[in-house]
Amino acid sequence: MLTTLVIQITGATAGAVVHKQQGPVADLAGHVARVASSLGLETSSLRAFETEDEAIFPLAESRLAVTVEDSRVVSVAAIPEPVAWLHISLDGGTVAPTGTRYVERGQTLTVSGELREGQSPTSRLMEELTGGPWGIEMVHELGIDLLSPLVAVSAGVISGSWTMPSDARDGLYVLSDARLGTFGAYRVKQADPSAAEFKVVRSM
């Protein structure tokens, strides 16, 4: 496993990392001196820490928390990414006894829901989140088609509707956390991944 070297300016706040290097460091003191020189700083103004936790290496400075004790960096850890949980529901089409929603081309689907602090539907509604249009990317189960309905978010409440296009492929469409991405500073995850699923079918 490679070593990650994290260097912080003395007195800087948590996360103020000025240099990260992944790879073995034979002479830590000498390396810190060279980094200080390249940054136009005094060696005494830097603190260094070696770790084998490669997961922190790709993270942005704002995602790192640096702990300092007795003028030394003693640990560097990732700050958990804040999460907004998507509680979504669909209306439209036909729902079979099995719970599967079938939608024909030309029919309208209405999207409603909320962004909440937790997976529980009773967790706090994140009223501070407002914006849009926000694209909800629905992917065909075979990865051969993509539907991207736009919704609005107002005080944490989601609303929108779209008509199923005439060229939509038959089959199951699903919404993944990876496709949801972020909303503002929050990573969006689904409270119930099956809630947004539907199948496009020919006229019954």
List the structure tokens of 163: 């008509």
β partners of residue 13? none
Rg (CA), the chain: 24
**Percent of the chain topping pLDDT 70:** 92
Q: What secondary structure does DSSP assign to 138-153, as a single string?
A: EEETTSS-EE--EEEE
The predicted pLDDT at position 87 comes to 96
Task: Catalogue all structural domains in the chain, each as residue range(s) with its CATH number.
Answer: 4-78 (no CATH), 83-201 (2.60.40)
The predicted pLDDT at position 1 comes to 44
Distance CA 29, CA 35 (A): 10
Over residues 128-174, the pLDDT tens digits come to 999 878 888 889 988 878 888 889 999 999 999 999 999 889 999 99
193 CA to centre of own chain: 15
Over residues 100-139, the pLDDT tens digits come to 999 999 999 999 999 999 999 999 999 999 987 888 888 9
